[in-house]
């Protein structure tokens, strides 16, 4: 018998920073590299080359990305940089002249070519092929599905369009095929992401494509409905309150899409929203929220807000607090305005002093924490569905911590001390109202027989400012 001894495949280490969209980019790159015969290395020491997928959204994220590049160079030395900060190749090269290559966001071919050059693949017909659903960096039971790249808006505090370009939507049939494979491979929750989910298909004039014998428009409503038929939870992120968003609410009422909307309102004051150049800046948002809740009483709304935007007066800020009090959103993340090089807001007059930003940030977080605690307390005694994320020791980290996940939690979360309940966690999951990494969790005191990806009925026994505590039935 002839035995072929294959040489060891080259190994790639990955440091993935930034938002879920960057995570999806990392997954695509690693899927392609895996198809080309590369292995992944869990540490710097075992890697033939380290790929750093960077974030360039805020100056603090840029600094974090630069630090990650520095660490990879110090620990390994052979580093390829990609992602949003890759747009600023001169900044990276000035600080780290030894990086092997720098590529920008969505330059999949370029980054893969750079890895090939740094650590050439071994041509072999025996190489393991990629699993049907591609390589995933999120746990198998939930998956991010990116439906478009880029953005047609020009919000005054944001440089994403200059980094990622204008909106480019994917074909709906391609998205649905990918989602179907993910579900077949064990995904229980599909998280729809983009820069602006409500704008999906605008660039391709909502053209129709055939899917399972029927035409499907490249439109958020059609896509959400078809995704909902695949049998997994479907969660919509980055939805702007355009009028047609009203049309996905019935899909939630039907149970096709989770009763969850992640809408980045960013502010409430009409004056500040205008200055921010926000899309779908509709003064009647509160009225619409009320109508949505009439149709879907358990609708959970998550949003983020920027405090201390240039020109934000005490009056504007009081308006925001009063709006939040009335809107009673389920999940709120607040950010202090950060002047980003290249964003129009950076050079606007009337910049708000840091101590005022801090005070306003704390006021929003305190108010939101109180509202959240009140809303969660109402759930005590009820029975809800929970998707199990981990069955683990109480101290174990969340699935993405160490790769940017901790940062996401910290930024999107309330500043609350760890709960006393966390000593007795048997399993941890999420309700339909909780997206991974950014929202709350449901802690089960009894993990008996459960495994990640299970969906169980849980009786809620207790709550705090952002989490629920219960026992599986
Ligand atoms: S909608 Fe505004 S904040 Fe969001 S990516 Fe587009 S320009 Fe940036």
Q: Report how far ligand 1's centroid is from the alpha carbon of 157 (Å).
A: 8
Q: Which atom belonging to ligand 1 lies closest to the Cα atom of 159?
A: 8
* Other residues' Cβ atoms within 10 Å of the Cβ of residue 396: 12
Q: Are 200 and 244 within 8 A, CB to CB?
A: no
Q: Which pLDDT tens digit goes with each residue over 408-432? A: 333 333 333 344 444 455 899 999 9
DSSP code string of 282-301: -TTHHHHHHHHHHH-TT-EE
Q: Which pLDDT tens digit goes with each residue over 227-283? A: 999 999 999 999 988 888 899 999 999 999 999 999 999 999 999 999 999 876 666
Q: Which atom belonging to ligand 1 lies closest to the Cα atom of 164?
A: 5
CA distances from 449 to 161, 188, 386, 393, 431 (A): 47, 18, 15, 14, 19
pLDDT, position 266 = 95
Radius of gyration in angstroms for the set of CA atoms belonging to the chain, rounded to a whole number = 23
Q: Which atom belonging to ligand 1 lies closest to the Cα atom of 161?
A: 7
Q: Which atom belonging to ligand 1 lies closest to the Cα atom of 238?
A: 4
DSSP symbol at 232: S
What residues flank ligand 1, with Cβ below 6 Å? 151, 153-155, 158, 160-161, 195-196, 279
307 pLDDT above the threshold of 90:
yes
Percent of residues, the chain, with pLDDT higher than 90: 62
Q: Report how far ligand 1's centroid is from the alpha carbon of 274 (Å).
A: 14
CA triplet 466, 467, 472: central angle to 5 degrees?
160
Cα–Cα distance for residue pair 372/381, rounded to 1 Å: 17
Cα–Cα distance for residue pair 397/9, rounded to 1 Å: 30
Looking at every residue in the chain, the average pLDDT score rounds to 86
Of all protein residues, whose CA lies closest to atom 2 belonging to ligand 1?
Answer: 155
pLDDT, position 42 = 83
Q: Which pLDDT tens digit goes with each residue over 204-241? A: 999 999 999 999 999 999 999 999 999 999 999 999 88
From 148, 195, 279, 338, mutation site for ligand 1 pocket: most ligand atoms within 8 A of C-beta: 195
Task: Indicate the pTM of the whole model.
Answer: 0.74
Q: Report how far ligand 1's centroid is from the alpha carbon of 279 (Å).
A: 8
Cα–Cα distance for residue pair 207/49, rounded to 1 Å: 42
Q: Are 274 and 281 within 8 A, CB to CB?
A: yes
Q: Report how far ligand 1's centroid is from the alpha carbon of 124 (Å).
A: 44
């Amino acid at each position: 018998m002839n035995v072929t001894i294959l040489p060891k495949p080259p190994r790639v280490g990955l440091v993935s920073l930034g938002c879920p969209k960057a995570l999806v980019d990392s997954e695509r790159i690693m899927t392609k590299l895996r198809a080309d015969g590369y292995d992944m290395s869990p540490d710097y020491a075992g890697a033939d080359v380290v790929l750093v997928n960077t974030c360039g959204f805020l100056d603090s994220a840029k600094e974090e990305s630069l630090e990650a590049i520095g660490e990879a160079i110090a620990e390994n030395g052979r580093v390829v940089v990609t992602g949003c900060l890759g747009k600023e190749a001169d900044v990276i090269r000035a600080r780290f002249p030894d990086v092997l290559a720098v590529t920008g966001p969505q330059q999949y071919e370029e980054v893969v070519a750079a890895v090939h050059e740094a650590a050439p693949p071994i041509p072999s017909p025996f190489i393991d092929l990629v699993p049907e659903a591609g390589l995933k960096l999120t746990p198998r039971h939930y998956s991010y599905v990116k439906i478009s790249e880029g953005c047609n808006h020009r919000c005054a505090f944001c440089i994403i369009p200059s980094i990622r370009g204008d909106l480019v939507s994917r074909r709906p049939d391609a998205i649905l095929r990918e989602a179907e494979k993910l579900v077949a491979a064990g995904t229980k929750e599909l998280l729809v992401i983009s820069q602006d989910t409500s704008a999906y298909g605008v660039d391709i004039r909502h053209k129709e494509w055939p899917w399972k014998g029927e035409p499907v428009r490249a439109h958020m409503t059609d896509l959400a409905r078809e995704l909902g038929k695949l049998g997994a939870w479907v969660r919509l992120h980055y939805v702007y309150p355009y009028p047609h968003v009203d049309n996905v609410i019935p899909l939630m009422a039907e149970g096709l899409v989770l009763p969850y909307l992640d809408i980045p309102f960013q502010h409430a004051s009409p004056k500040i929203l205008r200055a921010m150049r926000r899309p779908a800046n509709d003064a009647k948002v509160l009225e619409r929220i009320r109508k949505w809740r009439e149709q879907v009483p358990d609708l959970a709304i998550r949003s983020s807000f920027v405090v201390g935007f240039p020109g934000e007066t005490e009056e504007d800020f009081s308006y925001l607090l009063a709006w939040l009090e009335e809107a009673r959103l389920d999940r709120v993340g607040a950010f202090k305005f950060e002047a980003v090089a290249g964003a129009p807001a950076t050079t606007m007059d009337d910049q708000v002093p840091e101590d005022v930003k801090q005070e306003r940030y704390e006021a929003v977080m305190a108010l939101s924490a109180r509202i959240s605690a009140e809303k969660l307390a109402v759930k005590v005694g009820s029975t809800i569905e929970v998707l199990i994320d981990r069955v683990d020791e109480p101290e174990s980290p969340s699935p993405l911590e160490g790769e940017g996940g901790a940062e996401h939690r910290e930024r999107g979360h309330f500043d609350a001390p760890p709960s006393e309940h966390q000593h007795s966690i048997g399993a941890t999951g999420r309700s339909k109202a909780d997206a991974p990494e950014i929202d709350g969790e449901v802690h089960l005191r009894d993990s008996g027989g459960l495994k990640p990806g299970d969906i169980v009925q849980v009786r809620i026994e207790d709550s705090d400012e952002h989490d629920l505590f219960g026992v599986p039935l």
